Structure 1
Amino acid sequence: MGHNLSLVDTDFYTEVQLKSPAVQPAALRDDAVTPSSTKHTLRQAQNVQDSLEDEDGCSPPNLTETDCPYFSDFPEEEAVEDFNPSKFICSAQAVSCDLRQRKYDIPFKTRSAPESTLVLELEKVLVESSLIPQPDAEFTFLAPFQDTYYKVYVKLRPHAREFLETVCKIYEIFVFTTAKKEYAEKILKFLDPQKKLIRHRLYQKDCVCVSGQYVKDLNVLHRDLAKTVALDTVAYTLPFHLTNRIPVRSWLGNQTDKELLTMLPVLEQMTHMDDVRQVISHQFHVDELVAS
């Protein structure tokens, strides 16, 4: 189909190195960030993990240092816990539908909206956020953390806006992220200031808590899942809908990256399928993700 990905995502089996807090700080002053201060910031963020969890005791899914969902450039730390994505998916799939049912104020699809739906994660798919000052950052913002504001550096993935401008013509676009609303909204305001490209936005509060982790349930969209495609760098954030997900390579700052352009013909072809789940399941060998 023109998208030459390995059948099983390489990062799917990567050992988890840190437990990502819901919001992780970056230093307010450029000259305040040093390797030692960054390590201190990381330890501080890990120490306040419990205070950042919601009332259900949830946190964003555990990821490696290179796939941290909010900021990159973390120093290497020893694994704080073992995490098996395959086992997690299996346990998540056993969760009762009754426990997953929540009411959301998602607008009904309008007549002018494209028939197909596209669900996007932010970090490593469309942007990269960093703790370390980035001279080529496209914008910065301040994030509150324990009564202090910290500076966040964000870079857009190459061709991100071109990608959105193209696919919004054939897909109704949702951004569905495990990030907190206060954090994600700042990035979305820069990415789509007129709100003409991304029709709907869902955040951490719209996720489901499974075994202490935030995951996304596409049923909350109230859209035809036979016509719904999700792009995400990892599978275990979508444990209930593996056959709706097309894997996308994580973006780590390479300015020659063309992954989003490569995805365009794949997504265009998906709009012609009666049921994208059958195609994705066959093309990407989804059954291997939960194989014992």
Structure 2
Amino acid sequence: MPSPPKVHREQLIGPKRSDDHSKKTLVLDLDETLVHSSFKPIPNPDYILPVEVDGKLVDVYVLKRPWCDHFMESVGARFEVVVFTASLAKYADPLLDLLDKQQLVRWRLFRESCFPYEGNYVKDLSCLGRDLSQTIIVDNSPHSYVFQPANAVPISTFIDNMDDQELLELLPVLNELEHAPDVRTVLGANLGLRELGG
């Protein structure tokens, strides 16, 4: 398992709000975890988002993963929610304005906050300034959490399966983690099973 780089990096987010003080921090990926986006038109998109690409406005078609709204409402009440995406802010920020109308997401982090490592954008949780025993990341890409795999709840890649239930099925898992003294003890045990193919 690679270690986070031994270089000083500034803390990426500010201190917890007083009403989040006792809550664990839940880091959520955006693309292929909560939504799927495409430059090609897709049937029945939830949003059509104009984004500037090479000086031109291009429409991005966005499909929400099934149960996304229910999931966000549930975790927003129980966790300090951070969306951490390797996407550019010019696309992800306006998308989150649409996706998070209730302002449940406390912090938004974009590509510039990722750490480039072996051709991938890594989300280094040690730069959040949060207790890692109380921090969870949900991401469809294992490369994203390569520095802290014992903090990760894997999720499959979402493209367009509207029968997908994974966000709904994730809620009982997060409920268990919400009450765990150290999430890494629970998730690290599961990590061992995953590595053995269990």
State the partner residue of 1:175: 83
Q: Secondary structure at the match of 2:19?
A: coil
**Structure 2: where are the runs of 5+ without partners?**
none
Q: For 2:3 and 2:137, how far apart are their aligned partners in 1? A: 21
TM-score computed with the length of structure 2 as normaliser: 0.91
How many aligned positions are there?
A: 195
Q: 1:106–1:119: structure 2 CA closer, same or farther, 3 Å change rule?
A: same
Determine whether 1:112 maps to 2:26.
no
User: Using the alignment, how far apart are the partners of 2:3 and 2:34 within structure 1?
Assistant: 31
Sequence identity, in percent? Answer: 35
Q: Which has the larger radius of gyration?
A: 1
**Cα distance in 2 for residues equivalent to 1:105 and 1:124:** 23
Distance apart, 1:130 and its partner CA: 1.3
Per the alignment, residue 105 of structure 2 pairs with 198
Does structure 2 retain, via aligned residues, the 8 Å contact 1:229–1:276? yes
Q: Note if 1:247 corresponds to 2:154.
A: yes
Q: Secondary structure at the match of 1:236?
A: helix
> CA 1:269–1:148 in 2, change beyond 3 Å: closer, same or farther?
same
1:283 matched to 2:190? yes
TM-score (norm 1): 0.63
Correspondences of 1:66-77 after superposition (within 5 Å): none
**Preserved contact between residue 121 and residue 143 of structure 2 (Cα < 8 Å):** no
How far did 1:110 drift?
2.2
Match of 2:125 among 212, 218, 227: 218
**What is the deviation of 1:259?**
0.8
* Distance in 1 between residues matched to 2:39 and 2:157, nearest whole Å: 18
Offset of residue 126 of structure 1: 0.5
Q: Deviations over 1:124-157 (max 9, x none)?
A: 1110101221230011111222222211100111
Match of 2:92 in 1: 184
User: What are the equivalent positions in structure 2 for 1:249-268 lying under 5 Å apart?
Assistant: 249-268=156-175
Report the secondary structure of 1:254's partner residue. coil
Residue 181 of structure 1 and its aligned partner are, at CA, apart by 0.9
Supply the distance in 2 between the matched residues of 1:276 and 1:94 (Cα, whole angstroms).
19
Cα deviation code 1:223-264 (max 9, x no counterpart): 111111110112111111000001111112111211111000
Residue of structure 2 equivalent to 1:271: 178
The answer to whether the 8 Å contact 1:242/1:286 transfers is no
Where 1:255 maps in the other structure, the secondary structure is: coil
The verdict on how the C-alpha distance between 1:105 and 1:239 changes in structure 2, with shifts beyond 3 A counting, is closer
* Counterpart pick for 1:230 among 137, 142, 147: 137
